[in-house]
Structure 1
């Protein structure tokens, strides 16, 4: 992509976002307090201003470079598999062999997550300048990882369009205080016995083992669908595998069918894998890494959008720039930048502009950080520690001025207003 073309693309995007911004209300000096009592001020800059500070070369999408990362991740899939098949069976102790195979499945999941993330790049058209290439590569890679490509692409696009909007975002939507109490069948928070750590551990296990599958199959943690509230099968109607699910538009039908065909093709391939090479071979080389991929994706996305410092907005105070800023960058060391392609470390930038390829995201992030200043959210705390803290602290949101901040009934931080 030439510099001129990139500049034109940015100018067109800027013009469009400028028009959108004029139609959206932005209240200056809109304050709230986060869970720690620290003052939060809703940002009042526009997305057009953010786009203007990003170096034009960051928007360049290089097909050869992108494909090289696909090849690299596939290489590591086979390389780790070769090492495991060659050396683990030679270990004399059954116990040591068990733990060696367990460790291998974790390591094997890393490049598989990498392929998932590259398919995610395809869905945002950040992989290359060619839409058909992006969709073909994304469909193949996501299908291999057990993810319906177009279904995810369409719902994920709506997530990006409404990030941080309490009524329109698509995933990890926290309940309001009243909704949280209603779910537990109580009138006041004082009626709820404080959750024990064991309860939180059970929630954590469920979220990290089957969280992503339940989101795909029944739209768990997604928006409510009032038109389906009285239907016993309502959860399945909202499935990512249903071409007429309310989470999709009418024109999406055949793309959802194509996504399902991809999943069925992989399912049949796994069946043939088991028939020819046995259950164990399939389990350690694909099925358990597949489960771990889902674990990592939930782990990453939950912590990108859940933190005691992050707001959610009601419709009258939400705009695209505010929603994009309701995310946080974190650090995950070597695995994060090498195998997970910086999806953790540059996620804030990704929400401001999702078409920038990951290998240009660090440079773009630095430019955005300088511009938005204190409105940039970042943490280098160990992410497993943060996961536990967020699970205990970020139970529901409340606020009376259009800005909703996290609260909990566990006595952590500022107590909620128990209405």
Structure 2
């Protein structure tokens, strides 16, 4: 066991009375009924049909918006369309994400064909992201190996060493901003953080190269054997962009912006919001090599309910702990599996019922950096 290493530093865990979990994957898997791991292609296809039917209905209804003469009515209806279409398209994103994990079908080709179609529809390079996302799952919570949601250290934040820091564990004046500036930062990240990540690896792990990108088949985050998968991903996104350009020329840019681009930005919003809050919370620690293992990392996720949106988002937010433990489990079994895992994990199961807006503000303010040293570290501010 790694805990036998006398050099392991658990100071912060001791201070916060955080008990480090010691479960095996077999033990956790045995706690879940076997049928929860069964994948049904037809059932998965039902959800695809369900989502694209809703998308089509919303699109059709939107064609009547401009027939209303009163501008305020048109604006309210466009906003309603943008929000609703963004919610439903996020569900498609989740289904494509399942394809990347192999949880959509037991047939690899079905997974990759459906995933490529659905993710390309949403301008996501399917294979490129599938590959990098698998690294996130394999290394969640690891300070050395995680590829996204990597906390800044005290040194990277520009703070003095802990022994010389007069502000101690915080709050630190260096992070003080007006509420308006904080809100602007949040909006910027929520709308543009996702495309910035896939285009230039913003907030991702740094690589010694000029252009780390999900659109660069030569990027160091991919192996030579993955070259053509990345190329195919770029082709898929390019086809969608070509259609958007074609329809812009045919119907006008404003039409494409209203029907597609703004809902796409709402998809980005939900994607970043959900994933950020799944992995960023004051009570979530991060492990260094001395203590990290897969199952401990997988448990560093927060289940949160988004109310009725759980239905449209296929429960990606309120069953994320189970998803990290067993990423090939289809979403339609995740709620049942979560109930069994909750019982088995006890106090090690992390969920939070704080209202989403409040949770976002709290995490944004209080999750600024972690210490440069220590094998288990918590966010500070």
Specify if TM > 0.5. yes
Q: Counterpart of 1:404 in 2: which secondary structure?
A: strand
Superposition TM-score, scaled by structure 1 size: 0.84
SS of residue paired to 2:18: strand
- 1:265 correspondence with 2:244: no
Q: 1:266 to 1:27 in 2, by over 3 A?
A: farther
For 1:384 and 1:32, how far apart are their aligned partners in 2? 32
Deviations 1:39-82 (A, max 9, x none): 21111112221111111000110000000000000000011112
Cα distance 1:285–1:27, how it changes in 2: closer, same or farther (>3 A)?
farther
Gaps of 5+ in 2: none
- Output the CA distance in 2 between the equivalents of 1:112 and 1:358: 16
Q: Is 2:74 aligned against 1:97?
A: yes
- CA offsets, 1:219-240, max 9 Å, x none? 1111122x33xxxxx2xx1111
Alignment: residue pair count: 370
Change (3 A) 1:97 1:58: same
Q: Per-residue deviation at 1:26?
A: 4.2
Q: Does 1:356 align with 2:333?
A: no
The answer on 1:291 being equivalent to 2:265 is yes
Give CA-to-partner distance per residue, 1:291-310, whole Å, 9 cap, x none.
11111100110000000110
Counterpart in 1 of 2:214? 240
Contact 1:43 1:322 in 2 (8 A): yes
**Residues 1:192 and 2:174 aligned together:** yes
In structure 2, relative to structure 1, the CA distance for the partners of 1:30 and 1:369 (3 Å cut) is farther
Task: Tell me how far apart the structure 1 counterparts of residues 12 and 199 of structure 2 sit (CA, whole Å).
Answer: 36
Mapped to 2, the partners of 1:277 and 1:147 lie a distance apart of: 24
Matches within 5 A, 1:1-400: 25-26=2-3, 33=12, 38-86=16-64, 88-181=65-158, 192=174, 194-225=176-207, 227-228=208-209, 234=210, 237-336=211-310, 338-398=311-371, 400=373
* Structure 1, gaps ≥5 residues long: 1-23, 229-233, 409-419
CA-based RMSD: 2.1
SS at match of 1:180: coil
Which segments of structure 1 move beyond 3 Å, counting only runs of 4 or more? 26-34, 187-191
